[in-house]
Amino acid sequence: MITLKEALKLPKEEIEAFRTDLKQKIEATKSLGAYVEQLTCKTISEYGSGIPIAIKDNIQVNGWEVTSGSNILQGYVAPYNATVIDNMVRHGLSPFGRTNMDEFAMGSSTESSFYGKTLNPHNPKCVPGGSSGGSAAAVAGGIAIAALGSDTGGSIRQPAAFCGCVGLKPTYGKVSRYGLGAYSSSLDQIGPITQNVEDAAILYDIIAGHEPKDSTSANMAHQSVADKLNANRKMTIAVIENYLNEASPEVRERMMDGIRALEKAGHKIIYRNFINSKYDIATYYVIATAEASANLSRYDGVRYGNRGSNENLKEMFIQSRSLGFGEEVKRRILLGTFVLSSGYYDAYYIKAQKARHFIKAQYESIFKEADLIFMPVTPTSAFEFGSKADPLEMYLSDIYTISLNLTGLPGISVPLGMDSKGLPVGGQLIGQAYGEQALLDGALSLERELGL
């Protein structure tokens, strides 16, 4: 597949021919299920005539049906563009196809989508990760130049690692959330999934910037990073030793390959530890579900999508939400409503916010000694469909990614190689707030030294 950097140099006629070829390729690979259109046997959604970029099904594109992978939003047509879409169009890029996702971005495997599951391009028995599994599978499967995803607890980095792509979660607020279907407002962040680090930097530059309509958007001028990439920049990189030791043997081996590559590139490696990651999980699921309970209250059958037909208003609410939401979404709404309820708010939600501050302080302490942090993305490579029937077991697959969303820091998943089953393994570099330049410089250095 042509890279984004190469595609930006194509004349208009060649872009048009490429779009036609790509449409045929998507049609020929329906079994992958990366796009909603592949799963529903519909024509690929298009907007404009620029370089085609796949878009996650929770990002608004004017005139498209945008459903967040849910039954409750069937029939909803977006009346406006998300800020990232307008930014793309201004730079000659065009939305091209809705990628499959876990319902309302709640999941780690893309199994909870209303449309059905997406397969991992490296092994159809395995999950592509989630919730942006469709975006990662499309890029890894050679049916997208690049894609946009959203990351609430690792939903860009984890599928990128499972599929062997590069996935960038920017600093919270650097890329506007205006037009993103809300799951957890203080954690959600749009970012690129690409074939390489340079493409991630290019697409990040295109979509980043302040949005006056978004109160969480960082009010600062965007400094481009792609034109200043420097793989020869030497940095101090802290490896989180206890996370490394807790990972599976094969993930640990590939992480050691990455550490040796960084040392060979001239970076100084130091080893540090975090507190037990179980506190990250507990904090994340209290805050995320509390915010989801509030955000998803708007889906009541009155204004959006499907409506349950009943004789009175109360029954209509109950029927619309009971039939419209999937099991995982209902589970998280119930948990979120519980932690916000009278008598439990202080015991859970306030305590979780205090723990969030403590987690952020841990990162700040390590960044006094290091420029970047390096740790696994996931404890294992991609798991098989149905192997994590217990929701709690599924939640643990995000154990190394969620702390970045709690702190708002930027992170990038970079492929480190394959395990013995032929499945990709990724490592993540983490930067300081608004430190995307150093983060991408370090990622480019790692990518080039590994030569993958």
- pLDDT by residue (tens digit) across 102-142? 999 999 999 999 999 999 999 999 999 999 999 999 999 99
What CATH number belongs to 4-274+364-450?
Answer: 3.90.1300.10
Q: Is 56 a catalytic residue?
A: yes
Question: Which of 108, 109, 113, 131 is flagged as catalytic?
Answer: 131
The candidate with the shortest Cα–Cα distance to 265, out of 412, 450, 438, 452, is 450
Question: Which of 94, 113, 132, 155 is flagged as catalytic?
Answer: 155
Q: Is 68 a catalytic residue?
A: no
Q: Is 421 a catalytic residue?
A: no
**Residue 218 exposure: Cα atoms within 13 Å on the Cβ side:** 16
Asked if 73 contacts 299 with a C-beta cutoff of 8 angstroms, the reply is yes
Helix (H) or strand (E) holding 69: none
Specify the pLDDT at position 433. 97
- Give the Cα separation of 381 and 162 in Å (integer): 6
Specify the pLDDT at position 56. 98
- Give the Cα separation of 204 and 408 in Å (integer): 16
pLDDT tens sequence across 375-400: 999 999 999 999 988 888 888 889 99
Question: Which of 56, 169, 174, 388 is flagged as catalytic?
Answer: 56
pTM equals: 0.96
Residues in the chain: 452
- Give the Cα separation of 198 and 316 in Å (integer): 50
- Give the Cα separation of 190 and 173 in Å (integer): 9
* 172 Rama sector, left if φ>0, alpha if ψ -120 to 50, beta otherwise: beta
pLDDT along the chain (452 residues), means of 10: 96 96 96 96 94 98 96 94 98 97 96 96 96 97 98 97 98 98 96 98 98 96 96 97 95 97 97 89 95 93 81 86 93 94 88 95 96 97 91 88 97 97 97 98 97 84
